[in-house]
Amino acid sequence: MDERVEIFEVGPRDGLQNEKREIPVSEKIALVDCLSRAGFSRIEVASFVSPKWVPQMAGSAEVLAGIRRAPGVRYAALTPNMRGYEDALAAKADEIAVFASASEGFSKANINATIEESIERFVPILEAARHIDLPVRGYVSCVTDCPYDGPTPPEKVAEVADRLFSLGCYEISLGDTIGQGTPDTIARMLLAVRERVPVTRLAGHYHDTAGRAIDNIDASLSLGVRVFDAAVGGLGGCPYAPGAAGNVATEKVAAHLERLGYQTGLDASVLQEAADMARAMRAG
């Protein structure tokens, strides 16, 4: 089999946003520069959110200004509102991401808005991005379980994913934010979402809190998903999702996919170098 599966590297954003130590911008830049040699097409490196909410991402503009941009790599940034969108444009992000939740409890805790209010905030962002052909990715959080509201109905995930896709997001990344999904709940969620958004436009974004992320990736592969988000060294978590341990580790997903016979286009030795670097950043 030589079918391709893409890993979207989110370590410099999702991986680092939860770290307590104030990580110097120079260390973040060094990590991104290393990742740029690994063969990714897309790396999420920045987040233009309120520094009061997520202090660790305050240096995002400096990170985008300081990295050596590799040809063929798109450097992405999160944007919760128009202010974040403008900052991301000024910093020359190659693509941006809006992020919504499938559960009201997490939406309120994470972005201080209901799901509906958050989608209303995204409308002008998507409109502005369309005018300048800037790709916008859409995240849906808590796709199986929410730390505040409990299990998430698959139909609710499908509805939010459909709204973001219809507004113009080119891909919908489905977040198991607290890593409580199982192959069964992930499959039921994907079956519902696939009815509304083409599976070729879906990505799996699984945190590895309970050690089931690889099993959840396998369940997703069998339903046609071919893009997965991961963070080198398994860094990460979300400051507004208690108990959200790291994203599934990129090097672990890459090795697993290669074993299954998929092509990731990634260089395992560079991934290992980046993973070591990421772990050292965590240790401080």
> Among 241, 271, 242, which Cα is nearest to 255's?
271
Tell me the C-alpha distance between 241 and 4, whole Å: 32
238 is catalytic: yes
Burial 25-50 (b: 16+ CB within 10 A, else e): eebbbbbbbbbbbbbbebbbbbbbbe
x/- track of binding to ligand HMG for residues 83-102 (CB under 6 A): xx--------------x---
Amino acid (one-letter) located at 269: S
Binds 54: which of Mg ion, ligand HMG, none (CB < 5-8 Å by kind): ligand HMG
Tell me the C-alpha distance between 44 and 95, whole Å: 9
Nearer to ligand HMG, 111 or 275 (CB): 111
Q: Which of these is catalytic: 34, 142, 169, 238? A: 238
Smallest gap from residue 189 Cβ to ligand HMG (A)? 13
Smallest gap from residue 163 Cβ to ligand HMG (A)? 16
Residue 208 binds Mg ion, judged by CB under 5 A: no
Tell me the C-alpha distance between 173 and 122, whole Å: 16
Q: Of these, 53, 148, 188, 272, which contacts ligand HMG (CB under 6 A)?
A: 53
Site residues (CB under 6 A) for ligand HMG, limited to 150-209: 175, 177, 205
Only segment of 9-17, 65-73, 83-91, 165-173 that touches Mg ion (CB under 5 A): 9-17
How many residues sit close enough to Mg ion to count as binding (CB under 5 A)?
1
x/- track of binding to ligand HMG for residues 200-239 (CB under 6 A): -----x--------------------------------x-
Using the Cα atoms of residue 50, residue 65, residue 5 and residue 253 in order, give the sign of their dihedral.
Answer: negative
> Among 146, 153, 155, which Cα is nearest to 104's?
146
DSSP string, 164-201: HHHHT-SEEEEEETTS---HHHHHHHHHHHHTTS-GGG
Only segment of 11-19, 67-75, 147-155, 161-169 that touches Mg ion (CB under 5 A): 11-19
- Do 71 and 112 form a contact (C-beta atoms < 8 A)? no
Nearer to ligand HMG, 122 or 240 (CB): 240
Q: Which two tokens stand for residue 228?
A: 């997965």
Q: Of these, 8, 122, 139, 228, which contacts ligand HMG (CB under 6 A)?
A: 139
Amino acid (one-letter) located at 283: A
Only segment of 74-82, 154-162, 193-201, 212-220 that touches ligand HMG (CB under 6 A): 74-82
Residue 21 binds ligand HMG, judged by CB under 6 A: no
Tell me the C-alpha distance between 266 and 37, whole Å: 9
> Among 222, 213, 228, 167, which Cα is nearest to 194's?
222
List residues near ligand HMG by CB under 6 A.
14, 17, 47-50, 52-54, 78, 80-81, 83-84, 99, 110-112, 139, 141, 175, 177, 205, 238, 240
> Catalytic residue positions?
238
List residues near Mg ion by CB under 5 A.
14
